[in-house]
Structure 1
Amino acid sequence: MSKTVLYARVSTIDQTAAHQLTQARQAGFVVDEVVTDEGVSGVSTALRERPQGRRLFDMLRAGDTLLVRWVDRLGRNYADVTDNVREFMRRGVVIKTIINGMSFDGSTRDPMQMAVRDALIGFMAAMAQAQAEAMKEAQRAGIEHAKSQDRARVYKGRKPSYTRAELQTVLEMLAANSGASDIAKVTGLTRQTVLRIRADQAGADEALRAWGM
Structure 2
Amino acid sequence: MSFIRAYLRASTKEQDATRARQDLVRFAEERGLRIASYHIENESGATLHRPELQKLIADAYEGDVILLEQVDRLSRLNSDDWNKLRADLKAKRLRIVALDLPTSWTMAGGDADAFTSRMFEAINDMLLDMLAAIARKDYEDRRRRSAQGIERAKLAGLYKGRSEDAELLFRVEEALRAGLSWGKTIKTVGCSRATVAKVAQRVRTADPTAN
TM over 0.5: yes
Name the residue aligned to 1:41.
44
What CA RMSD, in Å, does the superposition of the two structures yield over aligned residues? 3.7
Name the residue aligned to 2:95.
94
Residue 81 of structure 1 and its aligned partner are, at CA, apart by: 2.8
* AA aligned opposite 1:163: T
**What percent identity do the matched residue pairs reach?**
24
Residue 56 of structure 1 and its aligned partner are, at CA, apart by: 1.8
Once residues 20 and 138 of structure 1 are traced to their aligned partners in structure 2, the CA distance between those partners, rounded to angstroms, is 26
* AA aligned opposite 1:36: I
CA shift digits 1:47-75 (9 cap, x unpaired): xx222222122111123110122223334
2:144 aligns to what SS in structure 1? helix
Once residues 93 and 127 of structure 2 are traced to their aligned partners in structure 1, the CA distance between those partners, rounded to angstroms, is 18
Residue 79 of structure 1 and its aligned partner are, at CA, apart by: 3.3
Q: What are the within-5 Å matches in structure 2 for residues 1-213 of structure 1?
A: 1-13=1-13, 15-28=15-28, 30-38=34-42, 40-43=43-46, 45-46=47-48, 49-75=49-75, 76-103=77-104, 116-151=123-158, 160-163=182-185, 166-167=188-189, 210-211=199-200
Q: 1:114 to 1:6 in 2, by over 3 A?
A: closer
Once residues 165 and 91 of structure 1 are traced to their aligned partners in structure 2, the CA distance between those partners, rounded to angstroms, is 35
Residue 14 of structure 1 and its aligned partner are, at CA, apart by: 5.0
Once residues 54 and 212 of structure 1 are traced to their aligned partners in structure 2, the CA distance between those partners, rounded to angstroms, is 40
Unaligned runs of 5+ in 2: 160-175, 191-195, 203-211
Residue 148 of structure 1 and its aligned partner are, at CA, apart by: 1.8
Normalising by structure 2, report the TM-score: 0.62
Once residues 158 and 82 of structure 2 are traced to their aligned partners in structure 1, the CA distance between those partners, rounded to angstroms, is 38
Residue 4 of structure 1 and its aligned partner are, at CA, apart by: 1.1
2:35 aligns to what SS in structure 1? coil
Number of residue pairs matched by the alignment: 168
Unaligned runs of 5+ in 1: 169-206
CA shift digits 1:113-140 (9 cap, x unpaired): 6654433222111111111111112221
